[in-house]
Structure 1
Amino acid sequence: MKKNIGFLNFGHWTPSPQSQVRSASDALLQSIDLAVAAEELGVDGAYYRVHHFARQLASPFPLLSAIAARTSRIEIGTGVIDMRYENPLYMAETAGAADLISAGRLQLGISRGSPEQVIDGYRYFGYEPAEGEDHADLARRHTADFLEALKGDGFAEPNPRPMFPNPPGLLRLEPHAPGLRERIWWGAGTRATAEWTAAQGMNLMSSTLLSEDTGVPFHQLQAEQIERFRSAWAAAGHAWEPRVSVSRSIFPIVSDLDRAYFGGESRGQDQVGMIDGGIARFGKTYAGEPDRLAKALAEDEAIAAADTVLLTVPNQLGVDYNAHLLESLLEHVAPELGWR
């Protein structure tokens, strides 16, 4: 089954001499360069993680707009934006601008967020859960307002004596990006959240961990999550077909340098641990020679069920090496799996 293949860049930087990414400037500029290189290779998507109070990529829309201006085909997106921190209406404006610059290539992943670098970081941004809410409710309230704004309906009372002439009726946010509402994804960490995602009319973005564990292998638990999402989508009766992405750490070993970096991961397996006070299951890393790698990936039930695979890239190894990884997967692994 043909897959959309993208990469997911966490945008880490560190002043360590072992890193190719030693500053925020390096992280941002190399993120642009990798997207340009990936488009030239035939990769379908460039996605970026968003973390606050960390030496990682944070505010995504300037970066996405810069990538949009340097590319013409590749999808650009996030995986994911923490909605606890967002002003929904301002986000609708900036997302609309980035989507128009890209000519409709924005694929925006959002969620309630992950464990933070600081305690309740969203409070420093001026946001508090309302009475009776917790932080997840805050994220979902912001999301509801954001999705409503993306529809493009007027809701604001116009000034009777405006600086510039208004169109008739209530005013909407500008710029409006037609079609962006159907290109919003939710990062779901459980099966129940995937069903909620479908009910809201958002695409499903599932990563390399799930915040629950039933004792089955990660890829089977994730495949069940995807099945539940698709069933809930059908029951909701939305007018368009959804997309589903899964993230994987996949490293084809085709050189001595690949082997030096990732040879020790060739016997990777799922891990079970604690996150946010609950049990979570983490997917394994795939690394090996292309034929063995293709065989292992063919047995991954969640990849089989998804239409999009996002490859988590070790960005601190630099643009050239990450472009090499993407090229190796497209050339040596994807054809064997029928992804290309």
Structure 2
Amino acid sequence: MATATELETPTPVPGQEHPVRRRFADRDGVLAWVFLLPSVVYIIALVALPFGLAIAFSLSDVTAGDPSFDWVGFRNFSRAFDDPVFWRSLGNTLVFTGVSMVLIVVLGKVLANILIADFKGKWVVRFLVLLPWTTPVALSSISWLWLLDSIYSPIDWLLRLVGVLGPNENMYWLGQPNLAIGSVIAVHVWRLTPLAAVIMIAGLVAIPRDIDEAAKVDGAGYWRRMFEITIPMVLPVVAVAALFGAIFTFTDAAVVRVLTRGGPNDSTQVLASWAFYRGIEGGDVAQGAAVALFLFPLLLAAAVAILRVVRRIEVR
């Protein structure tokens, strides 16, 4: 026997259901484009447009004194190939990036292992370690400019104190080509090692503790666990840290500009700084754009190579 509630409730007739009106927050397709739009606008405004403008300038004769656009084809690239400073800058860029990337990965791994250990004041140490990365590059480079000063360097004072240098002897860190190159690399490594360490900490924490504990039970020592368990499992994260280190080192001109301005005798010049000096300070905007464009294929090749390595590691 039907109840009173069943008698009062009308039975829906098939085909006459009223469509439910979807709210804006329920439309996944629309929300996806809404959230994606700011990123697209940002990339177009700050990446695509400047990149297209650099290509246009590199094919013209635009200068600071004559901004009119006249097509010259690949003449600016030919002039770059004939410039010995360009080749020196290219070599320095590759050397700085390669050496810095190796040191950043190695020291970042060591630092990450230290920071994941349990000890008193760990959070204070982590904060201090991150300071080089969070400090603006110009400000930190100015600090290093004082530390490496030819006369008042505290590093020289410490070396004289321990007897490595004579009473009136100075190292001239930024005045000799080899020492200047080493100083620039050291500052890059000092700045980017904390970033690599933070990235690697995420990889180390993600390793299941059961695997490490099982290896300990089987009698595996620290170094065997390191090379057979830890390093293979964090290799994708290490590759990401290496990629970030390569990008930031390859495209950085602030450290060279503040410390050496490319000297002595252009021995520390890199592509980014040389493009700035030719295009902005030298007024030859077209030539500076042509030099800067050489950064793109080199960095793209490095990024593709590193990402392919990561993909092969993940497939295994």
Fold-level similarity (TM above 0.5): no
Q: Which has the higher strand share?
A: 1
TM-score range, shorter chain: under 0.3
> Which protein has greater RCO, CA pairs closer than 8 Å, 6+ apart?
2
Superposition TM-score, scaled by structure 1 size:
0.22
- Normalised by the size of structure 2, how large is the TM-score? 0.23
More helix by share: 2
Query: Over alpha carbons, which structure has the higher Rg?
Result: 2
